[in-house]
Structure 1
Amino acid sequence: MSRNTLRAESGVRYLSDEQRADPLFTNSIARALQVLAAFHQADRPLSLSEIASRAGVDRSAAQRIVHTLRSLGYIARDADDRGFLPGIRILDHTLDYLRLNPLIQKATPVLLELRRNVRERVDLSLFDGQRVVYTARMQSKRETFYATLVGHSVPTFSSSGGWAILARLPQDEARDIIEASDRTPFTPRTLTDTDAIMEQIQLTQQRGYSIAVEQILLGEVALGVAINAPNGRPLGAIHVAGSLAEWTPEEFANRVAPLALEAARAINHS
């Protein structure tokens, strides 16, 4: 996967032996979802053979599944007839998730107020093991295409929100997530050594927030604060990102941390 997309490992889940043996588990549905998951790391339309290879099914099965999903609007033919793309019906399910998720419902007005106060990019991410997935993105004056997309993900081990989340986990669990991650660096400053990352997590525990400097993007400083379930387990994080051309990390933390911490408290208490 190209790091140019700034995307963490996708959420593909391959079938386990336990799932295959489960009498209630429907393999045909799982294969259809694997076909849809074939597009997760694609940067262009996919041919039928490419879909079959990425989904781990034979070409005949891929052909039947693609035909069915295409007839239902979940896969479409590229306008230039170069292959297949996800269909518009996928967006119906994205909308359902965003409007029905209680954390997103509670967090959105708080994040809008935080964005008005800090005048920098504010994101909400949800914790998904080795990655965090953005579910709300409130933009500032400096953005790229990928920084505007809901559903975009970044690694837990190297993101500000990821460090804030790991700081809320037992040390052994945090270390296991780091060591299981693909720690290919995004920038020359991306920390990839487990002990060095654990030092940042310990600093985050002491401060209550993380500061990540050029971990994902050169020239970016990002601050993260965890959002927790009532039992204290982290559900996700608030990220606030600024430019090193305008802020030193210390100035950014002094300005943003009190506001981000207050926003997290408001979401947690709701």
Structure 2
Amino acid sequence: MVDKTKIKRSNPLFVGSIEKGMQVLEAFDEGNRQLGLNAVVELTGLNRSAAQRFLHTWESLGYLHKDAATKQFRLTPKVMSLSYNFLRGERLIEVATPFLLDARERTGNSVYLGTLYDTSIIYLIRLPQRLFILEGTLPGRSVPAYCGGRAFLSCLADSEILSILERSDRSAITPYTISGIDEIMREIVQIRERGFCISEQEQLVGEIAVSAPVLDMQGVPRASVYISARVSDWTAKRVEEELAPIVLETAGMIRAQL
């Protein structure tokens, strides 16, 4: 398997210092909202001097804020401008939003749009049902593609899928997560036959979701549409009968507009 990181670093146009700077910024994730210098060093593997310089630079540029009392850093709202510029300029978002809103109205359930990046699915749009927690409304969250993106993966060649699976940390998220490569590939075959994927409690206990890929006119997958529901209210059979047709219809209408 080709190591893309080595290819990038062997390219004379690749700027290693930017990569290191982004490692520092990306260290501030869901589980590390505030970090001190020592924590950044540990998380990134950079030496103390380099980490300190990058932290100072990001602070000077306005992307990090340093608490004078605790010496802890945190992200600032300025980072939102980057994601806004992407979302505002992405035609997929513009096209998909009204169809996703309609799907939520028709089903009364949460509706998402996600796309593949490396080995993860990143949610671009998240429309929660009325009863929700904050996390369920925020775009930008990523989930492992091996369990949260099988509808998207089903549109790729087997060799591409296997590459993604082999590079993924396939640790089970819940007791119901399917993580074995052979099991996942069997699921992929079924998804290709049906055109949609049903995932039951694989990412979150108590949740069942159905998803379908959004293809462009060349047949290349661009995203997946998700509708999630509670297992206390929805059986897999009911999801297949009532929600799968809607998720397929929604994905098809987005494709037609693209």
1:186 aligns with 2:162: no
1:88 aligns with 2:81: no
- CA drift of 1:239 comes to 0.8
User: Which of 16, 25, 43 does residue 14 from structure 2 map onto?
Assistant: 25
Larger relative contact order, structure 1 or 2 (CA cutoff 8 Å, min sep 6): 1
Partner of 1:199: 186
Paired residues of 1:37 and 1:55 also in contact (CA < 8 A) = no
Cα distance in 1 between the residues matched to 2:34 and 2:96: 35
User: Which of 145, 151, 161 does residue 140 from structure 2 map onto?
Assistant: 151
User: Which of 151, 159, 162 does residue 164 from structure 1 map onto?
Assistant: 151
- CA drift of 1:230 comes to 2.8
Alpha-carbon distance change, 78 to 242 in structure 1, aligned in 2, over 3 angstroms:
farther
User: Which of 216, 220, 225 does residue 238 from structure 1 map onto?
Assistant: 225
SS at match of 1:123: strand
Partner of 2:195: 208
Equivalences for 1:49-60 in 2 at 5 Å? Answer: 49-60=38-49
Mean alpha-carbon deviation: is it higher for 16-25 or for 245-254? 16-25
Paired residues of 1:70 and 1:87 also in contact (CA < 8 A) = no
SS at match of 2:34: coil
- CA drift of 1:183 comes to 1.3
Alpha-carbon distance change, 264 to 29 in structure 1, aligned in 2, over 3 angstroms:
same
Partner of 1:176: 163
User: Which of 225, 241, 246 does residue 254 from structure 1 map onto?
Assistant: 241
Deviations 1:109-151 (A, max 9, x none): 1111111111100000011132100110000134333322211
User: Which of 7, 16, 21 does residue 5 from structure 2 map onto?
Assistant: 16
Paired residues of 1:74 and 1:89 also in contact (CA < 8 A) = yes
Deviations 1:202-261 (A, max 9, x none): 111111111111111111110000012332121220110001111111112211111111
Deviations 1:167-223 (A, max 9, x none): 111123223322332111111111122222222211111111111111111111100
Cα distance in 2 between the residues matched to 1:187 and 1:17: 33
SS at match of 2:173: coil
1:109 aligns with 2:98: yes
Partner of 2:210: 223
Cα distance in 2 between the residues matched to 1:223 and 1:179: 24
Partner of 1:120: 109
Paired residues of 2:36 and 2:71 also in contact (CA < 8 A) = yes
Indicate the RMSD between aligned Cα atoms, in angstroms: 2.0
1:43 aligns with 2:32: yes
TM-score by length of 2: 0.91
* Unaligned segments of structure 2, at least 5 residues: none
Partner of 1:11: none
Cα distance in 1 between the residues matched to 2:127 and 2:69: 33
Cα distance in 2 between the residues matched to 1:28 and 1:156: 29
SS at match of 1:25: coil
* Unaligned segments of structure 1, at least 5 residues: 1-13
SS at match of 2:177: coil
Alpha-carbon distance change, 107 to 52 in structure 1, aligned in 2, over 3 angstroms:
same
User: Which of 135, 158, 161 does residue 124 from structure 2 map onto?
Assistant: 135
